[in-house]
Chains A and B, each alone.
Chain A
Amino acid sequence: MKDTLYQYLLLLGDNSLILGHRLSELCGHGPSLETDIALTNHSLDLYGQVRSYFQYAAELKGEGATEDSVAFLRLEHEYRNVQLVEQPNTDFAYVIGRQFLWDAYHLPLMRHLMNSQDERLAAIATKSEKEASYHLRFSSEWVKRLGDGTEESRERMQKAMNDLYRYGHELFKASPEELAMEESGIGASLDALEAEWNDTVQEVLSEAGISIPDSPPAMARGKEGIHTEHMGYMLAQLQYMQRAYPSMEW
């Protein structure tokens, strides 16, 4: 049970960690000063959530584990984030598209977890819900602006959605830990989340004039530790400091 909860916290935290890292790559590189700050704010919100998840995870694991060792000292196949969040910052439409597909899942997830039987998880979700709510508002607005903007912005938004939408399915493909946590009233029901996700995505994309691609779902198994080619490069950067100078603090 303890190990199942530990794994469930990784499933939650790794998504925020990897997406937070992707967004942090935009620091100083956003399309405008205002969006640059907004996206790095999102990144910091996500990192804050990761710390809460991993501090909890480290306590469950014991054996001298810390939030840092959980975040930085695992191997690629031990990271359990979905493949959606590791997709690269190809252009601003991809950044927004990835963010929107994630936020449309993240907000209802936090709302469900606010009622978790696990008090600590419920507290983390209660704090994160407000952040997730703002993130969804921000990314939805931008999907609509790009979709309903110029010819070029519409084309780019559609292209990003064509590439990214198929990664959305993995969010709702339950891992054994997610099923177990749902049964015990600790985790969220992925079926319920999927229905909410579909509603949000359809509503926003239709308002944006972006069509939902009919491409088949990606064969994504990030939750099992199988990642796309992008993941290794990210981890090399993310883990560099702890690998080069083990146990360093600053």
Chain B
Amino acid sequence: MSENKEWPIWEVFIRSKNGLEHRHVGSLHAADAEMALENARDVYTRRLEGVSIWVVESKHIRATNPESSGELFEPAKDKAYRHPTFYNLPDELKHI
């Protein structure tokens, strides 16, 4: 047994219906992956929210450092031309 008595934290991703992607919905504690799936089922799908669950232990997620936000994200701010908003679309096209 490890010295750590707290269960590790897991991130939970749920696919709300077939064809859609899994989305992050929250996190929970669990001793291992199997328990994390069961806990996720009980905590996050009680109201019929999903048809599939992914869990991943939080420590495996590599995140960007907020201090680097400037160099990472700000350069994209003045590059509106990267949005494909300059096309004239026919009216029949929906959902674009």
Interface residues of A (CB under 8 A from B): 32-35, 37-38, 41, 134, 137-138, 141, 145, 150
Contacts and interface: CB of A to CB of B under 8 A. Distances in A.
Given A33-B28, A34-B43, A141-B34, 9 more contacts: A32-B29, A34-B28, A34-B30, A41-B42, A41-B46, A138-B38, A141-B35, A141-B38, A145-B31
Contacts of B31: 145
B39 to A, nearest CB: 4
A150 B46 CA distance: 31
Interface string B1-17: 10000010000000000
A18 B66 CA distance: 52
A5 to B, nearest CB: 33
Interface residues of B, number: 14
A34 B34 contact: no
Nearest to A35: B39
Contacts of B1: 150
Nearest to B6: A32
Contacts of A137: 38
21 contacts: A32-B29, A33-B28, A33-B29, A33-B43, A34-B28, A34-B29, A34-B30, A34-B42, A37-B42, A37-B43, A38-B38, A38-B39, A38-B42, A41-B42, A137-B38, A138-B38, A141-B34, A141-B38, A145-B31, A145-B35, A150-B1
Contacts of B30: 34
Nearest to B41: A134
Nearest to B30: A34
Contacts of A145: 31, 35
Contacts of A134: 41
A32 B36 CA distance: 13
Nearest to A34: B39
A41 B41 CA distance: 10
Contacts of A150: 1
A134 B45 CA distance: 14
Contacts of A38: 38-39, 42
Contacts of A33: 28-29, 43
A35 B34 CA distance: 14
A37 B34 CA distance: 17
Nearest to A134: B41
Contacts of B46: 37, 41
A49 B92 CA distance: 50
A10 B35 CA distance: 35
A133 to B, nearest CB: 13
Interface in B29-71: 29-31, 34-35, 38-39, 41-43, 46
Contacts of B41: 134
A41 B42 CA distance: 7
B94 to A, nearest CB: 38
Q: Which 8 pairs of residues, A with B, have the shortest CB-CB distance?
A: A34-B39, A38-B42, A37-B42, A37-B43, A41-B42, A34-B28, A34-B43, A150-B1
